Each structure stands twice: as structure tokens, then as C-alpha cells.
Structure 1
Amino acid sequence: MWPGDESFGLFTEGDSLYAAMQAAIRAAEREVVLESYIFADDEVGRALADVLAERARSGIDVRVHLDAAGSLFWASRDLDRFLRDSGVTLRWFHRWHWSRPLRYNQRNHRKLLVVDRRQAFLGGFNIHRENSRRHYGERRWRDTHVAMTGDLATQAQAAFEALWQRCLWRALPQAHSSSAVVLPNKTADCAHRLRCVFAAMFASAQHHIELTTPYFVPDGWTQQALGQAAERGVSVRLLVPRKSDVAPIRWIARRIYARLQCRGVRVFGYHTRLLHAKTVTIDGDWVSVGTANLDYRSLFVNHELNLCARNRTLASALTTQFETDLADAEEFTTTWPRQRTMARVLAPVAWAARRWL
């Protein structure tokens, strides 16, 4: 942890993150809350489940909120039963029901752990072996998480409670510091808060914008903010997967990249591993780390949670990681090979369905 009013720790390897999370849970004295989009019944998930179960059996209040769609093919009834039988309060977010089919599209995409309202972990890492070098090897997913203490942990707990209690539009506690805040994308004063914050951050940039996201299908307002930043001389660099694992996003993305490149944005395709990190740095000063992708689903549909902070130490660490990632990436040129006919035909369809991707 780096010292300060709110201490931060940065994780880019799953094994070290999971070890830190387990250690924090073992040290819990009163309460543990966790939410995750994916909680797999594998080596990583079982190890964390064992620690959660042990603390629940010892009398600690342990609550776990998992997304039904995200964990559909990863979790199991055995894992569900084990947690409940151990005293863990487990809740599934938006299980499928024929009477309310549309709500299944809105998902809890957040990955958050808060222990005793004093320590929190937030970012892109799901709970599965694909993030572990020990269990998955060199092809493990590339992701980023941040650990926080102090007032930010209290804010993270409040965000968990709001979704757990289904009081989504109540006002969250005010931050004591003006330099850092934990932000859900749906707040009492704005239904798409993160989109507004990102646009404001891009508009305020004077020198550099470094953005990493696995899925880049932003709305027109966000595209405009990035393009305008590049046109006024800001160095805007975007790191995305060289080839998205979601075919419709591949069909759409090329057009968006080309449009931004014409305005001066540089786009790099990461090719070594599956890219899953979601980070932003502005002028080596402002940062955002969290669960939100730069796409319609994260900005307008899902429940997301991001740390937005003004912290040069954290920004420096993220910039260093960004440069490291660029060494495993290739810059996309403005001259693209012609798309296959099917991709050209389906791209407008995919754009129309962008809220469902």
C-alpha cells in the first residue's frame, strides 16, 4: 500500500491479488461483503470460497452478491450449496425469469471486496483460474485491480449496500476528500454517471490520455470528447485487444477506430494475452480503475463501479503498466484491409444492438 489519506495498492497479477484478498478476509473481525460478475467453481474460486466459508462459520457476517448471467457457465450448484451451508448469505443478481425477461439484460458487472468497511478491492479481475499464472500459465488474462483503505472503503461498502438492498437511487455518502471517489455508474443524481465523468476527464486533459479497455463501443458523446482532445494537441492513446473475443464488437470497432484515428487518436492492439483491464490516466494525474468498459453496456445498462482519483503515484504506476503493455501491442494503421462482406453487412446490425452486446 502507498501511504496517504486513502492508501492504494495496484494489482496486475491474479495470484497476488487473490492472495491479498484471502489474507484480508482471514483478518476480518466483523463483516465481509463481496460481489463478482464471475465466481467460478475452479481452483481459484474454491480457494476463496473456503476462506469465506471459514469466516462465516466463525460468526463473521459474510455476504456474497453474484451475477446470474455472468456466472452461468462458471459457478455450480455445489459451490452455491457449500457457501450457504457454511453460513454465507448468497444472493444471485437477476436470475432469469420468464415474467421479466428484459431485466436479465441488466447485469451486476462489479468486482468488489470490502472487509470491515476498512479495506476494499476493486477492478476488472473476476474470480476464476483464467487470471492465475499458477493455474492458467502464460496465457492468463491481463487485468488490473486496485486496493483502497480509509474513506474510499466506506464509499465502496455504501455502493455494495445500495445494490444489495435495491436502493439504487439513494444518495451515497459524500467523499471527505476531493481527490478520490468510488463511483457507481447509476447514482441518485445521474443514471449514467461514469459516462459523464469520463467525458469531463477527457475534456480537461491538457497533455496525455491513456486508455485501456477490452470492449470499445462508446457513445457519440464519448467519441467526440476523445476526438476533440486529440485535435487540440493532447496525446490520446487507446489500448484494445488486437482481436476482440466478441465478434459483433469486431465488426463495429474498426469503423470507430478509423473515425478516431482520422482525428489524431492512436490505437494499439494488444496481442499477447486476453486483455480485460479497464483503466484511464489523464496527464499523469487523474486516474480511473474499475469494472466499466468503454461500451454501451457498461455506460448505460449494467451496474458498474470505478475508482476515480487524483493521485500521481497511482497514475505513475498505471502509466508504467501501460507502456509495458504497449510493448506487447501493435499500432493499428489508418489503412485497413477490406472487411469481409458478412462483417460489412452485419456491422450496422451490431451497432443497432450495441446495448445488448
Structure 2
Amino acid sequence: MARIKFENVKKTFGKVCALDGISFEIHDNEFFVLFGPAGAGKTTILNCVAGILIPDEGTISFNDQLMNLVDPARRNVAMVFENYALYPNMTVYDNMASPLRSKLYKTDENTIKEKVYAAAKMMKMENLLERLPSQLSNGQKQRVAMGRALVRDPNVFLMDEPLAHLDAKLRNSMRTELKEMQANLGSTCIYVTHDFMEAMALGDRIAIINKGKIIQIGSGDEIYYMPINEFVASLMGEPQINIIPSTIKVEGNKYNLCFEVLGKKISMEMPVDEKVMVKIGELALRCVDIGIRPQHIQYSFEKIEGYFKATVYSYESIGNKSVIIADCGDYQLRMIAPNGLRVRIDSDIYIHPEIGKSIVFDCESKNYIVRYDEEAVKALATIQEVR
């Protein structure tokens, strides 16, 4: 139950700038996800909230109360570390009970037992309570660390990739449990992950962070449909978005998109969309990057008019679908395919990108310009209205 505010927070380690003057606010009772590549500064943010690290500059406040110099023990924060941090000489039960036996948050044993067993049931580890950490797998240790946080009633839950060491089936079930737990407890939760699906499934809002800077904050749908730049667009999606370097040529009232495939120049007429053309015209752009999601690329192994020829680079089966990667010379295109296809590497493949469902980026700054797909924009507006 805390509203957390960062104002111009900077943290350096020697010559490395881990947080570069970041400012953002996390709402009370919000499930807030930090998403970005390794080394982006996500864990540093958690450590600053917990009080493990003190910012070099800027302020951190809980409910408008300055917390920079408040002792970590008095912040009422529960943290799940990526490296478990379990007491090796204590059983699972005692590890989970340890926060409730501390001097600051001491609780009677009957209440402790009730909370530990409730958390153990949620973590599906009732049969592990008498074991020592040395007798557990990495996934089980991770669940103990999560259970130790869940027995608390903190102002803020801090979770640093808590599902990373769990098997796929348990990870999926735990996503649901975590979201329901946070809603029931009414606590603010800051969650770090590298997993796009986890970020989308759990976050009320997602902060994209890279090189110590907050790049974009919004709901999963907002960021997916309206990524602020190509970096964000490539993070939000699996398989990642295709980027086609292109130029726009105006011939009368027609706009043609021109790009190269294996050294051959291709020209495709762009769909008529006044909003897109006005935006591109305002910026006087002729050079653009076209972003197209893999599900919006049609393909065939037989020659079809309007399709351009490329070469199959790889074919990957990923569960309920497959991904074909086509070599187009200076770039590669990913497309979704059904399982069971017989695809030969280096064979010809004919491709047709649906330009009408693309995102237009500036080829120099790599920033978002406009989105073609009006249906996606309307869907996003409906989602925002419902919220």
C-alpha cells in the first residue's frame, strides 16, 4: 500500500551509470513491471526502493515521504532475490517464518503457522517444509524465497525474476497465482523480468528500461501497438518485429514503398491512408523503416504474383507454431507458420508483407512516426476506454 515516486534518480558504480536521472511514479496497489535487457538497471531500481542502495542524486518517496535515508528494515518492503538468499541452517518452514520472527515484525506462532502453510499451499510445496535448502532443487529454492515474501504484509513487494528457475508448467500457473495474490493483498508490486509474455500477462503497466534510462511506460497493449521506437518494438513481441529499411517514392497520387531483397529492388504500392501520408509529409520523410509483425507476413513456396522471392534461412518449431526466417540480404524476415511443414534450408520462398498492418519508424532516429493499422489503433482505444 504505497505510492512510489522516483525524481531524477542517478546511481553510478565507478564509471558505469546504472541509473541516469530517471523519474517515474508507481501507483498505489499497482503491479508494475520493469522490462528490459540484462544490465539495463532493473535490479538497481529494486535495490534503491529496498534501501540496499542509496541514490547518488535525486529522491525516492513512499506516499510523499522521503525514503532516501530511511533504514531498509523500516521501509516494510518484502523482496524476492534472484539468488534465493535462504538461510542454509534453517528448514523451509523456518526460512519462510523468519520475517515474522524478527524484532520489528514479531508475530505469534499460531499466526506464523497459519501464514506459512497458506503460502506453502500457494507455492505447491506443503511436503517440503521440513527440508533444508541443500535438499532442494533450484526451482524449489525459488519457491521458498517467494513464500518467505508472501507471509509478510508489506507496503511493497519487490520481485527480481522470481519465476526464472521454475519449470514451464509451474511458471504459467504461478503467473496467475501472483496476479491474484497481489490483487487480494492490495500491495504495490514491482516485478523485474526478461520474459515478454510474463511482462504482458502480469503488468498493470510496464516500464521499458535500457542503459539506465526509462524508454517508455504504459500498459502492455499501449507499448505493443504504439512502441516509442524500434528498440521497444523489438522487445515487445515473440518472435520479434521485422524491420525493413525502405524509401517512399511519390508518383502522382500514389505512394510506392521501395526496398531491396537479395540485391533486387522491389516496389510495393502503399495502401491509401491520408493520416499516414500527412504524417510522413509533415516530417518531409522519404527514408523510413517499416516494422511488420511476423503474423502479418504472408508466404508461399510457389511463385505468386505480387510476392517477392527470398531464401529460407531457418525453420524453428516453437510449440504450437513455427517460425520461418527468410534471408533478404542485409536483413532477415520472420514469419509465423503452422507446425508440420517440410521446409528445406536455402530453398526459395515467396513473401508478401501486409503493409497495411505496419508501423512506420524514422530511419535515422529510429523513433515511431505513425501506425498504418487502423483496426489496432481502434482496439487500443477501446481497451483504454474500458480501463
Could you state the TM-score of these two structures normalised by the residue count of structure 1?
0.26
Indicate the structure (1 or 2) with the bigger Cα radius of gyration: 2
Higher helix fraction: Structure 1 or Structure 2?
Answer: 1
Higher RCO structure (Cα 8 Å, ≥6 apart): 1
TM-score (ref. length: structure 2): 0.24
**Higher strand fraction (1 or 2):** 2
